[in-house]
Amino acid sequence: MYRSDSDDNTENIYDRICFSEPIYPETIDDLKAGIEQAIRLENRPAFAQGAADRLNDLGVECTVSDTDIMLARIRERYKSILGKPCPRTVLEWIRGTTPGNTNRQNNYELCCALEMDFEQTAEFFRKHFLTQPFNPKSKTDAVFMYTLFHKKPYETAKKLLESSVGFVSDENAHTSTSRIASFIFEINDDEKFLEYLSSHCYGSKQQFQRARELINSEITQLKEGLDAGGSGKRLNSLTISELLGYRYQLIDKKSEKSRLPKGFTESLPNDVTLGRIINGESVSYELLRKTLMLLKFYNFYSEAQNTDPNIIGGNLMDLYEEIDLALDGCGFAPIYIKDPFDCLLFFCANSYDPILSLHLLNERN
């Protein structure tokens, strides 16, 4: 049976990025191998690979190049399983557009149309949507978390979503993500679930509170070594300069940064967005995840010394574990070496000066 990708390939990339000969960073050219690998990863049709693999599992022979076959079969499945036409957005994903996460109902419904269970949906989100599934503080995520975990039909999810349309976010609700998830796993009654959901609706500002706490803690640690003179805005600018090696400015399209994969450069923090995080304002999932990983990376290597290959490898694994634990605790997607951002960050970690390597990536000259 056709499989577009394999776990062995993932392991090979992991070994190449994390455990090849460490680099001595002096110029951007020293990071060429990592940049080229990240660009190849970004250019791979991650979503189409996952969709083709799943269709093959369901008895439809196709490859990532068989767009017409995938379009036809997925359209049929939306009509026969979900009782609705396939949204134009999903059709564009199949044609090659990168899937978004703004309307996550589209993501979940595709998984339902492809008859994925709870675990298969979680894996598809991580590997092919490149995001974390089942954020129980999101009303849509909570509904699909409940129905998929308890093996309920799509029709139940549809009814629950319709019933919860009028639910209003409670700005004073602060139940932890883990407690909400535990309740969803324990209860198997639609009415009780709706009752619970009605009093545990969260707006975007209330989501990922743990991430904001960790980010603020890491920022405090980083700022301890900075000259704190001036306003908070100036201090945010100094933090970004220290973290990424530059002050926030418009990107020169001819610069080295513009030749990095978008998966790396998009949603990087700047002094403005850092201020929004600190002030508890609404920001994107991608910004929070990248900011947390960058701060963990910087603070770790501000103290660690990469003096020989064995120490470099050991430090990298310690950092990998530390970041993965933090991501899991925040409800973020774990490290995935096929994600261009994760790939380049850990390529920088496999060097004699990880912070300099990261700064070289972000040079604009």
How many C-beta neighbours within 10 Å does residue 275 have?
Answer: 17
pLDDT confidence of residue 260: 87
Domain ranges of the chain: 7-44+208-361, 136-206
pLDDT confidence of residue 251: 46
Kindly state the helix (H) or strand (E) to which residue 54 belongs, with its residue range.
helix 46-57
Averaged pLDDT, 209-236: 79
Closest Cα partner for 345 from 274, 285, 293? 293
| 247 pLDDT above the threshold of 90 | no
Confidence band (pLDDT; 50, 70, 90) for 4? Answer: low
Lowest mean pLDDT segment, chosen from 84-93, 169-178, 212-221: 169-178
Longest dimension (CA), the chain: 65
Q: CB within 8 A of 81, min separation 6: which ones? A: 112, 113, 115, 154
pLDDT in tens, 86-134: 999 999 999 988 887 778 999 999 999 999 999 999 999 988 988 888 8
pLDDT confidence of residue 364: 43
pLDDT in tens, 153-175: 999 999 999 998 888 766 666 67
pLDDT confidence of residue 181: 87
**Spatial distance between the Cα atoms of 271 and 198, rounded to a whole number of angstroms:** 36
pLDDT confidence of residue 3: 54
**Spatial distance between the Cα atoms of 355 and 33, rounded to a whole number of angstroms:** 17
pLDDT confidence of residue 45: 87
pLDDT in tens, 309-334: 999 999 999 999 999 999 988 878 88
- C-alpha distance from residue 235 to each of 7, 302, 311 (Å): 43, 19, 33
- C-alpha distance from residue 163 to each of 84, 160, 190, 194 (Å): 18, 5, 11, 8
Quick check: helix, strand or coil at residue 351?
Answer: strand
Q: Which two tokens stand for residue 362?
A: 């972000």
Q: Across all residues in the chain, what is the average pLDDT?
A: 87
Q: Which two tokens stand for residue 101?
A: 């996460």
- Report whether 261 contacts 238 (CB < 8 A): no
**Spatial distance between the Cα atoms of 153 and 117, rounded to a whole number of angstroms:** 11
Amino acid at site 123: E
Confidence band (pLDDT; 50, 70, 90) for 84? Answer: very high
- Backbone φ and ψ of 351, nearest 5°: -150, 170
Quick check: helix, strand or coil at residue 23?
Answer: strand
Q: CB within 8 A of 253, min separation 6: which ones? A: none
Confidence band (pLDDT; 50, 70, 90) for 239? Answer: confident
Q: Which two tokens stand for residue 68?
A: 């017409």
pLDDT confidence of residue 253: 47
Lowest mean pLDDT segment, chosen from 77-86, 225-234, 265-274: 225-234
pLDDT confidence of residue 204: 60
Amino acid at site 88: R
- Report whether 244 contacts 359 (CB < 8 A): yes
Averaged pLDDT, 78-86: 96
